[in-house]
Structure formats: C-alpha cells, structure tokens
Amino acid sequence: MNKSFLKFVTDFGPLAIFFFYYYNNDKNLSVAIPPLIVATLIALTVVWFFEKKVPMMPLISGILITFFGGLTIYFNDPVFIYVKPTIINILFALALFFGKYFTKEPILKKIMGKSIPLTDIGWELLNTRWMFFFFGLAILNEFIWRTQTEEFWVNFKVWGMLPITIIFTGFQIPLINKHKMDA
C-alpha cells in the first residue's frame, strides 16, 4: 500500500467520519464523538498493521481524543473536547521548551535533524519559534471555544488551525534557508 495514501486516509479518515456524524445529526458532539474515537482507534491499528509502529504524534493525539472524547461523552459536557487542542499544543510547547535541557539539543533537531541540515543556531531559533507557535495556538483555541459557538469552534479546529499551521510552516523557510548547512 502507498505510504502517503495510507497516511492521508489514517490522518483524515477519522475527521471525515466526525464531520459526517456531526453535520448529519443536528451538529451534535455527543453523536459525533463515539464514531471519531472508533475511527481513530481503527486508523492507529491500520498504521500499526502496515508500518509495525505508530508514530508518536498520531499515538498521543489518539490517546487524547479517546480520553477527552470519553470524558465529553461520560459527563455530557463538551468542555473536555474543547480543551483537547489546548492541552496538545501546550504539551508540544513544553516538550520543545524543556526538551533541550534534558537532551542538550533542541527537540526539533532530534526529530528532524537528518532531514534538514541546520546550524545549531538555526535549530535553536526554529525550536523557539515552534514553541511559541504551539503556545499561541493553545491561547487561540481557548479564545475561540470560550467566545464562539460550538459549530464555529468545530470548523475552526479543522479549517482554521490547519491553514494557520501551514502558513506558519511556510514562514519558517527563510530561517531554514539562512541557517542551512552545506551538505
């Protein structure tokens, strides 16, 4: 099976299922979350079956979707699913912040060092930018879910955060080019 197709299906399949159930059931989170959890667990199982491993980011996300989705269903309170992106982004930011103190180099360098040859200063800057970006996304998510409708938050979670992340990533290209080491 084509790896990029598998990644696309396992990344976006659960989301498509969530949207299907959310918009076909009077925009009801309680109806849409159980299929999301099941689809996420199936996606993680499929990845493991074909890859014999599950990458850390989808695994953490799957655990948090299951945990916070379960709390949302159990307590019949959407606040748990609303704070999931906040918690994920804070965890990523803290990992980038504290990681360099425990590993003696920026976490991003540990994760991506073989694919992007940057100077140490470049890695420090990139790591710091992503750390602040994740903190910013956490704050933005808190602002959105506390001030907007549930439907607005659901749409922002997908159609807002993803483009913001892509645009932010694009803005890192000049930094990467400036601090790229000669191969």
13-53 tens-digit pLDDT: 999 999 999 999 999 999 999 999 999 999 999 999 998 99
Tokens linked to 104? 């003696």
Per-residue pLDDT at 139: 98
Q: Where are the alpha helices (DSSP H) in the chain?
A: 3-23, 29-51, 56-75, 79-103, 107-112, 120-147, 150-155, 161-171, 173-178
Note the pLDDT of residue 138. Answer: 98
Q: What is the pLDDT of residue 183?
A: 59
Q: What is the pTM of this model?
A: 0.85
Q: Which residue, 126, 116, 120, 64, is CA-closest to 90?
A: 64
Q: What is the DSSP letter of 180?
A: B
